Amino acid sequence: MAKKKENSAILSQEKIADGIYSMWLKTEAAEEAKPGQFISMYTNDGSKLLPRPISICEIDREKGALRVVYRVTGSGTGTELFSRMKEGDIVPVIGPLGNRFPLERAAGKRVFLIGGGIGVPPILELAKQLECDKKQIIVGYRNEETFLKEEFEENGEVYISTEDGSVGTKGNVMDAIRENGLEADVIYACGPTPMLRALKAYAEERQMECWLSLEERMACGIGACLACVCKTKEKDHHSNVNNRRICKDGPVFLSTEVEI
């Protein structure tokens, strides 16, 4: 069923790190939202026709609210316009969009929940909802601005990597896994393509189940324009070529199904 655009009121907004903002929105999308999905947010600037896809960070069904944590990508961009908004302002949104992380695959297993960069926020709601035998949250940052760290610590064992070594393991999430001697049966991850590519290789080498949320620039966000595709082993029934639409068929894929 097609999603309708709705006008969502901002409940709160704050800057939580350099260029990183947290926004709570009152939205009907909270009723159906699941970990791994996203919403498309429109600016109130008529010159910017396309929405900005933003991953869902937290879901509060009781309040009918969603939290998004996003990075401002430059002056005059859609995300920069969002960052200027305040409580009570209205943001047109469509959602929830995309598929979800398959939580049921974690039952009784040791799990890695891995986020890197702006792929960190969607891991939080996943960590809150996931039920498994052992929950290991591994998050990678640029520096000591480890946003959402406290929230993660309430929901599992947390291991941090930073590019400059200011907190936790110096390096990336793979370095943190090795340094701490961590082991798991299933991986759930979201982050930049080089990180996901390394995790895909790591999982396949060990014959582990691995679910990846792919980051990609999107246009329509509903699967109509084919602007955001990834290569797959099987032909897509929509386009009859070896690709899948990240916004519609994803953003979450089993690592063995995609080429990155």
Q: Please give the helix or strand (H or E) that residue 187 lies within, else none.
A: strand 186-191
* pLDDT given at position 227: 47
* pLDDT given at position 214: 87
- Rounded distance between C-alpha atoms, residue 70 and residue 64, angstroms: 20
* pLDDT given at position 221: 45
pLDDT single digits (tens) 64-76: 999 999 999 888 8
Handedness of CA 70, 260, 94, 60 (dihedral sign): negative
Report whether CATH 2.40.50.700 matches the domain 103-212. Answer: no
- Rounded distance between C-alpha atoms, residue 62 and residue 245, angstroms: 32
* pLDDT given at position 248: 57
CATH annotation of 216-260: 2.10.240.10
Contact 244, 232 (CB under 8 A): yes
CATH annotation of 6-97: 2.40.30.10
| pLDDT < 70 regions, the chain | 1-2, 215-248, 250
R_g of the chain computed on alpha carbons: 18
Which are the contacts of 173, defined by CB distance < 8 A and separation ≥ 6?
A: 114, 116, 138, 139, 140, 161, 191, 195, 199
CB-based burial of residue 236 (10 Å sphere; 0-12 exposed, 13-18 middle, 19+ buried)?
A: middle
All structural domains of the chain with their residue ranges: 6-97, 103-212, 216-260
- Rounded distance between C-alpha atoms, residue 69 and residue 55, angstroms: 8
HSE-up of residue 137 (Cα within 13 Å, Cβ side): 23
Q: pTM of the prediction? A: 0.88
